[in-house]
């Protein structure tokens, strides 16, 4: 979304980049006129909008807009941003840059709604959504901002990425190019709030304290929900907090509207279904450029699945995807050549920022070329940019990896046997990373997992040494045969690259969680029958990684991932109302004999 503090960090970095390029803190003020407007929507609500217009009137310019819940600051027509546009290449190119506080946020009027539900067939002017607010804003700008060329582009990262996506249904005909980047898309299945039904506790509690304070009208700054909240060690803090309802009882006191909504809707009911924008992405006309990161802790799912939804529902639309090993929004930083234990051997951002620049110039100014492939993908491990005609690629070779006795991972079919069990204890959950911090560490998505494989409540399965490079592309599917001593459990599956270094580093490639009771339906959870073999299947996010010759593949399985994911009481109950005493130890068995196989399905490609 959403990670507000990190977004601020991105903004700070971009400001620094712009200063380096422009060699002047006053470049924007010297070359642009800033105007502020309160633009009236069709239902009468006024949205605060800042517009930066080039002083050079010798040309007509396209409009490039970002709509945001995070403030268009600085406010006041004499107070200027120090950078404009998505990346530092734009500031001297000359666009009409527009920033808008969305409905109900900061200086705009109206009521804010979490991921405003889309209304496809509006009956009258009282039915509004982000599509109509974007349409009305664009219509007003075209009629009231002189020297525009009649073309509009929209972009945004994270929550602003959602607003970029939301501009696509029933888009204003002047909108020619849209780039949703790490867009929030489906908060129950895979973005921000829940992953496969499992609540992402740490991120959301921290975020909502800075985002969810009640308001009575427009304001420049947001106060915290609870100004006394202090966290020194996330593992210790969240463990001592206990049951999920304690967070409201001790800190929010029912004043945090969105937090309350999250906990009131613990299945994928009408609330979450209305906030899944994918079904509404039909009849899309603007060119689209979806952007996401392989190490995005918030909205990797959103980038991949917004692209797929547009592609499936609009087969003739000009729709493209860019994915590389970035964290949330890191593609707009000054450079990006390493992360966690990964070294990429090149700066990834120079290539992308030129691509983004070319995208908007081509569609909004009819200048230059935009030659990006359908899917432009950076493959980790081999450290190569690859271009594909489809994503996932259509000519993948499907492989199945089999879990077996003695910690074996068989990359080819053979007889499998045995089973493994572990005791999952909510009082001693597996940490998401082997580091102490006062907030979430992005590095966890690429961090060494050796600390986890040493624990008795984590299972691991390792392949033989690879004799050739092996490149995985597209989704990873886990298919496990399990048995529980209680009635519910979480399942975290990790795909790991074991390096042939002196430490035998277990480098995380991809990981995902499923809340077990949602194994058949997110809408209708089901308890497990104790001690009865049960099949669970779920899909991890896509991957683009080469396991190099001499490496090994490892799969880890565990049932806690704390405090990233809230603890499951390991009983079939409503977790938001569970009591501290409801959290129970549980014996979890992973079966992998021929009658009850457990395996991982992947897609591979040989580039040689």
Tens of pLDDT, residue by residue over 38-89, are 999 999 999 999 999 999 999 999 999 999 999 999 999 999 999 999 999 9
pLDDT at 21: 41
- Tell whether the model's pLDDT for residue 22 goes beyond 60: no
pTM given for the model? 0.95
Crossing angle between the packed helical segments 4-22 and 201-211, to the nearest 10 degrees: 70
Q: Which of 7-16, 223-232, 313-322 has the least mean pLDDT?
A: 7-16
Residue 205: other Cβ atoms inside 10 A = 27
- Tell whether the model's pLDDT for residue 530 goes beyond 50: yes
CATH of domain 397-605: 2.60.120.260
CA distances (Å), 182 to each of 21, 149, 300, 327, 604, in order? 26, 29, 6, 10, 25
State the Cα–Cα distance between residues 236 and 565, nearest whole angstrom. Answer: 14
- Tell whether the model's pLDDT for residue 2 goes beyond 80: no
Maximum Cα interatomic distance, the chain, rounded to a whole number of Å: 76
- In this prediction, residue 157 has a pLDDT band, given cuts at 50, 70 and 90, of very high
255-282 residues labelled b (16+ CB within 10 A) or e (exposed): ebbbbbbbbebbbbeebbeebbbbebbe
Instruction: Tell how strand 46-54 and strand 32-40 pair up.
Output: antiparallel
- Tell whether the model's pLDDT for residue 7 goes beyond 90: no
| Burial of 117 from C-beta contacts in 10 A (0-12 / 13-18 / 19+) | middle
Would you say the C-alpha torsion 353, 356, 362, 364 has a positive or negative sign?
A: negative
Record the tokens describing residue 82, joined without a space.
């120090």
Q: Is 539 left (phi over 0), alpha (psi -120 to 50) or beta?
A: beta
Residue at token pair 């040494």: 465
Q: Are 82 and 49 in contact (CB under 8 A)?
A: no
- The CATH-assigned architecture of domain 4-185+288-388 is 3-Layer(aba) Sandwich (3.40)
pLDDT at 608: 67
- In this prediction, residue 414 has a pLDDT band, given cuts at 50, 70 and 90, of confident
Nearest by Cα to 290 from 254, 314, 260 = 314
Torsion from C-alpha of 570, 573, 579, 585, nearest 10 degrees = -10
pLDDT at 25: 76
- Tell whether the model's pLDDT for residue 3 goes beyond 90: no
Summary mean pLDDT of the chain: 95
Q: Are 590 and 480 in contact (CB under 8 A)?
A: yes
Delimit the domains of the chain by residue range: 4-185+288-388, 397-605
State the Cα–Cα distance between residues 291 and 332, nearest whole angstrom. Answer: 11
Strand, helix or coil for residue 126: coil
State the Cα–Cα distance between residues 148 and 360, nearest whole angstrom. Answer: 15
Counting residues of the chain whose pLDDT is more than 70, the rounded percentage is 96
**Containing H/E element for 379?**
strand 375-379
State the alpha helices, DSSP H only, in 242-380: 246-247, 257-264, 270-274, 300-313, 348-365
Q: What is the mean pLDDT of residues 162-178?
A: 98
Q: What is the DSSP string of 18-44?
A: HHHHHS-TTHHHHHEEEEEEEEEPTTS
pLDDT at 242: 97
Instruction: Tell how strand 175-181 and strand 287-293 pair up.
Output: parallel
- In this prediction, residue 6 has a pLDDT band, given cuts at 50, 70 and 90, of very low
State the Cα–Cα distance between residues 39 and 137, nearest whole angstrom. Answer: 7
- Tell whether the model's pLDDT for residue 5 goes beyond 80: no
pLDDT at 67: 98
Q: What is the mean pLDDT of residues 148-172?
A: 98
- Tell whether the model's pLDDT for residue 11 goes beyond 60: no
Q: Are 485 and 531 in contact (CB under 8 A)?
A: yes
Nearest by Cα to 102 from 127, 76, 141, 65 = 65
- Tell whether the model's pLDDT for residue 12 goes beyond 60: no
pLDDT at 607: 80
Measured in residues, the chain has a length of 608
Residue at token pair 């700054």: 221
Q: What is the mean pLDDT of residues 367-383?
A: 97
Instruction: Tell how strand 419-424 and strand 490-498 pair up.
Output: unpaired
């Amino acid at each position: 979304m959403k990670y507000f503090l990190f977004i601020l960090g991105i903004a700070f970095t971009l400001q620094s980049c712009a200063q380096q390029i422009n060699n002047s803190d006053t470049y924007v003020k010297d070359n642009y006129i800033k105007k502020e407007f309160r633009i009236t929507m069709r239902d009468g609500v006024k949205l605060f909008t800042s517009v930066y217009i080039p002083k050079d009137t010798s040309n007509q310019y396209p409009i490039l807009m970002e709509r945001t819940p995070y403030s268009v600051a600085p406010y006041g027509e004499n107070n200027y941003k120090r950078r404009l546009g998505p990346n530092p290449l734009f500031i001297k190119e000359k666009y009409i840059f527009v920033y808008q506080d969305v409905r109900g946020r900061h200086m705009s009027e109206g009521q804010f709604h979490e991921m405003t539900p889309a209304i496809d067939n509006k009956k009258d002017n009282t039915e509004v959504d982000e599509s109509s607010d974007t349409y009305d804003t664009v219509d007003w700008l075209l009629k009231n901002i002189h020297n525009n060329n009649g073309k509009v582009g929209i972009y945004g990262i994270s929550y602003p990425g959602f607003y970029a996506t939301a501009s696509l249904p029933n888009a204003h005909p002047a909108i020619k190019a849209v780039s949703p980047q790490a867009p929030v898309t489906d908060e129950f299945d895979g973005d921000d709030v829940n992953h496969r039904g499992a609540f992402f506790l740490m991120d959301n509690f921290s975020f909502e304290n800075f985002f969810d304070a009640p308001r009575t009208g427009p304001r420049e700054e947001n106060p915290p929900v609870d100004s006394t909240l202090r966290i020194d060690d996330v593992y210790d803090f969240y463990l001592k907090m206990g049951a999920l309802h304690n967070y409201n009882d001790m800190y929010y006191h029912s004043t945090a509207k969105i937090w309350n909504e999250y906990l009131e809707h613990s299945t994928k009911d009408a609330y979450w279904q209305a906030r899944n924008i994918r079904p509404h992405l039909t009849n899309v006309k603007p060119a689209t450029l979806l952007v996401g990161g392989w190490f995005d802790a918030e909205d990797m799912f959103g980038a991949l699945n917004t692209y797929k939804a547009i592609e499936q529902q609009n087969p003739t639309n000009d729709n493209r995807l860019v994915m590389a090993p970035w964290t949330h929004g890191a593609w707009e930083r000054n450079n990006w050549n390493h992360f966690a234990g990964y070294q990429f051997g090149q700066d990834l951002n120079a290539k992308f920022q030129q691509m983004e620049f070319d995208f908007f110039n081509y569609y909004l100014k009819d200048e230059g070329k935009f030659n990006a492939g359908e899917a432009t993908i950076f493959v980790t491990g081999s450290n190569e940019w690859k271009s594909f005609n489809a994503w996932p690629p259509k000519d993948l070779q499907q492989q199945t990896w089999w879990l077996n006795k003695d910690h074996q991972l068989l990359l080819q079919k053979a007889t499998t046997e045995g089973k493994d069990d572990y005791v999952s204890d909510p009082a001693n959950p597996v940490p998401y990373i082997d580091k102490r911090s006062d907030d979430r560490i992005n590095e966890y998505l690429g961090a060494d997992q050796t600390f986890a494989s040493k624990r008795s409540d984590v299972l691991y399965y390792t392949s033989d040494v690879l004799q050739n490079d092996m490149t995985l592309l597209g989704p990873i599917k886990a298919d496990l045969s399990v048995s529980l001593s209680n009635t519910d459990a979480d399942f975290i599956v990790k795909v790991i690259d074991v390096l042939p270094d002196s430490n035998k580093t277990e480098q995380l490639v991809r990981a995902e969680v499923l809340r077990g009771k949602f194994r058949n339906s997110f809408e209708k959870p089901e308890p497990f029958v104790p001690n009865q073999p049960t099949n669970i299947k779920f899909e991890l996010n896509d991957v683009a990684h080469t396991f190099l010759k001499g490496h090994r593949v490892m799969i880890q399985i565990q049932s806690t991932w704390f405090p990233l994911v809230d603890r499951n009481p390991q009983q079939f109950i409503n977790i938001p109302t569970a009591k501290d005493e409801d959290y129970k130890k549980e014996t979890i068995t992973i079966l992998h004999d021929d009658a009850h196989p457990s395996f991982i399905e992947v897609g591979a490609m040989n580039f040689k």
